[in-house]
Structure 1
Amino acid sequence: MPQTDLTDLHHILGDLVVASHRLTRLAARVTGSTESPATWRTLSVLQTTGAMRLGELAAHSRVSQPTMTKIVRNLVESEWVKRIADTDDARAWQIAITPKGADALQAWRDELSAALVPMFADLSDDEIEALRSTVTIIGSRVELSAAASEAVAGAR
């Protein structure tokens, strides 16, 4: 790919990340939810990657371990996550999402989507197809990246 195309791609991807974050914040604000974004991010990480130790979960959610301890405590009280014994280390625990947590996460995602529909209801069929294609492309690249990261981590 020529350098000018790479530069253009660089800018487009940067704009996409910014737009995505703005869209998420806007949707959350419109819903009026008081739940911390870190709660939803944590549940999403657990749903996507499966059970993991608290330190790993903190790293994936980009918060400190003491902050993750508080988040997990609240999520356990809500019965959205559970602690399970770590099979590799009897002294350690792993955190896993519960069916109740998965349901809460899906309800939150549905609420976000419903809040955004009025802003996008006037899109043409071609624009909706462009959004669908964008979601597919991003999803496949993120999955590829996650698989590559896991392969590298497993090779250590």
Structure 2
Amino acid sequence: MFDLNPLNLTDAPMQHFAMLVVAMILGFIIGLISQRQTIRQLEAEHDRVEADLIDWQNRPVRLVNTSDDEETNTLNRIAVRAQALNFDRIGRATPTEADDLKKISGVGPFLEKKLNTIGIYTFAQIARFSPEDEDLVNDIIEYFPGRIVRDRWVSQATELTKK
């Protein structure tokens, strides 16, 4: 009789190849359309991270001094880690605006130097500390763990700000 085998046709391999290419193109288009939102989100996150990286690279690192003095080495080590603080939230201050931070119970002269080294100069800045900031500052200034919370720096600073 007659043969119904489509592979016996002379142009069958070409038809299979054409259908494969069409299926590939359709799959690509459908995937692109369905993932367009994800692509936009990832591109936005990439741009944000890249901008943060450029910002971090351009931030100056304040070094106190170079010497073999233990206090100076400690202050230099602390100054490098100060960039982790969110000064947009707690506020920025200059040395000319500095309060006498030693009025806070638990803050002595060297601890005040450490705080000044990382950019903390005023009671208002300390009053704006969140619990995360308290832990972060504790780590940065190499203070006893949890001591800022136990000494109630934030509430003391809030009271001193009102005066």
Superposition TM-score, scaled by structure 1 size: 0.31
Between structures 1 and 2, the one with greater helix share: 1
Larger Rg: 2
Q: TM-score, normalised by structure 2?
A: 0.30
Tell which has more relative contact order, 1 or 2 (C-alpha 8 A, sep 6+): 1
Q: Higher strand fraction: Structure 1 or Structure 2?
A: 1
